[in-house]
Amino acid sequence: MGMKSYLVLACILGLLAGTASAQEPDLQLRPWGFGWDGNPTLRRQLGRWQLAVTAGPDDELRDEENYSFGPGLPDSLQGTLTDSSHRKNESGNVRLDILRQIDRQDNIVFFGQMGCLYQWCDGEYRTSYFYSHDLAYRETKESFFWDRWTLRLGGRVAWYPVPFVSLEADFGVAYKWYHQDKVRSVKDPDETEWDVDHTDTTSQNFDSFGFYDLTSGLNLVVWF
């Protein structure tokens, strides 16, 4: 769903809320929910509790090839490949949230929430660079994998403009664990072995999350 479509939907629901009398939602009448929470999300209402699974299995998938030829080379080398590169990148995320209803005011429901988010990215990059006129190339290849675990603790405000639709905003604090493993290898034309550089990085940090604008900080769920 594009940002523009997301905003249009929010405006339509606002108009519906303004033209119809407010109705308190029966959360048990429609226990299943499906919608958008940064990625597709599936909800299950269990009494005052709610389970939510949100995932983007291929948040980014990129496969790129690039080739260059040097027209300024001598006639004997015209058409020679001067450099080439290949880049591939795949990433995704999955999140599990557990919520409990803590308050309710007409068609606005307040939840406490605890959740865990897992993000990952797997990529590789290769390049060959024309090193000299004896058709020698300098080769470079790099591969990396990083992942991040995030523990989230906070709340959610859900507004039901009509009983089967909720517009939601999350807020709270998060603690993140990050790890990256990267290997970079380089081989010059006059070398027979690869020069390998291995980097292992870990970090932890404390952060916050919350509503920041109508087009990207607001969740939409349809209940059935």
Helices (H), the chain: 3-19
Burial 79-96 (b: 16+ CB within 10 A, else e): eeebbbeeeeebbbbebe
**Type of residue at 188:** D
| Domain residue ranges in the chain | 3-223
Q: What are phi and psi of 5, to 5 degrees?
A: -65, -40
**Where residue 27 falls among pLDDT bands split at 50, 70, 90?**
confident
Give the whole-angstrom CA distance, residue 151 versus residue 204. Answer: 11
| Per-residue pLDDT at 111 exceeds 50 | yes
Give the whole-angstrom CA distance, residue 89 versus residue 61. Answer: 6
**pLDDT tens digit string along 142-154?**
999 999 999 999 9
- Please give the pLDDT value at position 26: 83
**Where residue 3 falls among pLDDT bands split at 50, 70, 90?**
very low
- From the list 39, 67, 66, the residue with the least C-alpha distance to 53 is 39
CA distances from 218 to 45, 87, 156, 208 (A): 20, 34, 11, 16
**Type of residue at 215:** T
Cβ-based neighbours of 217, under 8 Å, separated by 6 or more = 169, 210, 211
Give the whole-angstrom CA distance, residue 32 versus residue 27. Answer: 9
**Where residue 46 falls among pLDDT bands split at 50, 70, 90?**
very high
Give the whole-angstrom CA distance, residue 85 versus residue 69. Answer: 13
**pLDDT tens digit string along 152-187?**
999 999 999 999 999 999 999 999 999 999 999 998
User: Mean pLDDT across the chain, nearest whole number?
Assistant: 82
Contact 115, 98 (CB under 8 A): yes
User: Which residues sit opposite 126 in a β-bridge?
Assistant: 86, 141
CA distances from 40 to 12, 57, 95, 109 (A): 20, 10, 11, 21
Contact 153, 4 (CB under 8 A): no
Give the whole-angstrom CA distance, residue 151 versus residue 177. Answer: 9
Cβ-based neighbours of 218, under 8 Å, separated by 6 or more = 6, 10, 167, 168, 169, 211
- Please give the pLDDT value at position 14: 55
What is the mean predicted confidence (pLDDT) over 61-79?
A: 60
